[in-house]
Amino acid sequence: MATGEVTSTEYIQHHLTNLTYGRMPDGTWQFAHTTEEVASMGFWAIHVDSFAWSLGLGLLFLAVFGIAARKATSGVPGGFQCAIEMIIEMIEDIAKDIFTYKNDYVAPMAVTVFVWVFLMNLMDLVPVDWIPHLATLAGIHYMKIVPTTDVNVTMGMALTIFAMILIFSVWKKGLGGFLAELSFHPFPKFLAPINFLLEGVTLLTKPLSLGLRLFGNLYAGELIFVLICLLFSGGAVLVASGIFLQWAWAAFHVLIITLQAFIFSVLSVVYLAQAYDTGEDH
């Protein structure tokens, strides 16, 4: 919380800064202690907090689903197995509807994306001060626990999807076919450069919008949680409204985090289906 020594700006800034490990201008590798230091570390720095949390949540996903897979029985399933199967079947059904081609990898990927992104988003519902405060007590200066509020994580996933789009496109259509698809419409062939430009932008928009949509939604959500938290440093009325707003925004956020995870997952499948889609003319 914003105590007397910390201004609101500093408080917000603190909450929006990742725990960054990188090379300082003076050549030493260490954790950044100020936002200026973070900015000075450049590309080779790593956001330890968001990466560690995303990794941990991913492993949690693998562990939980792995246990379900290990115990999976074709007889009468228990509640746990039912729950896992429901999630898997829900996403698998949708993925199979959208992605009608033969590829065994797409449905598991969609499930992984959905559950992993959901878990990462879920961290947004943990009150914003709990874990950062504990981390501060433990001597860690910065701690962002929602990996999807880190553009590196969302764009990392989106760019991986983009790479898959390119690979599948070239694999299914051939390099020439893929380039032809980009160049020969919407306008006639003699306007190929313009077509290529338009379609190229369309293509590049896919990963950008995919990654930035998730990032933007969660970043904004987190920011609003932080702003609501600022109210708790005010008077009784502000605290009361803060409590209400915290509850209301969290309740609303339950929808947002699920929806965003779902959208990310389904759009990934849609893009991959488009990459597979040959012989169409749109």
Partner 1 sequence: MNINITIIWSSIAFLIFTWSCYYFIWPPIMAAIRTRQKTIADGIENAETAARDVEQAEQQASEIMRNARLEAQTLLDQARSQATALVEAAKTEGREEGERLKAAGVAEIEQESNRIRESLRGDVATLAVQGAERILESDIDSDKHRAMLEKLAAEL
The catalytic residues are 209, 213, 217
**Is position 70 an interface residue for partner 1 (rule: CB under 8 A)?**
yes
Of 252, 60, 48, 251, the residue nearest 150 (C-alpha) = 48
**Contact status: 112 vs partner 1 (CB under 8 A):** yes
Q: Minimum Å distance from CB 264 to partner 1?
A: 11
| Residue 51 to residue 148: CA distance in whole angstroms | 10
| Using rule CB under 8 A, residue 150 touches partner 1 | yes
If one asks whether residue 226 binds partner 1 (CB under 8 A), the answer comes out as: no
Name residue, tokens 């990188």.
22
Half-sphere exposure of 193 (CA within 13 A, CB side): 0
CB of 48 or CB of 231, closer to partner 1: 48
Q: Does 38 bind partner 1 (CB under 8 A)?
A: yes
- 193-198 long-range CB contacts below 8 Å, 24 or more apart? none
Q: 171-176, long-range: CB within 8 Å, 24+ apart, which pairs?
A: 172/275, 172/276, 172/278, 173/278
**Least separation in angstroms between CB 81 and partner 1:** 8
Q: Is 222 helix (H, G, I), strand (E, B) or coil?
A: helix
For partner 1, the binding residue among 11, 53, 61, 271 (CB under 8 A) is 61
Choices 67-75, 94-102, 196-204, 223-231 (CB under 8 A): range interacting with partner 1: 67-75
Of 161, 115, 117, 178, the residue nearest 272 (C-alpha): 161
Interface pick for partner 1 out of 26, 104, 280, 281 (rule CB under 8 A): 104
- Using CB under 8 A as the criterion, which residues of the chain lie in contact with partner 1 when the complex forms? 18, 20, 22, 38-39, 41-47, 50-51, 54-55, 58, 61-62, 65-66, 68-70, 72-75, 77, 81, 84-85, 88-89, 104-105, 107-109, 111-113, 116, 150-153, 155-157, 159-160, 163
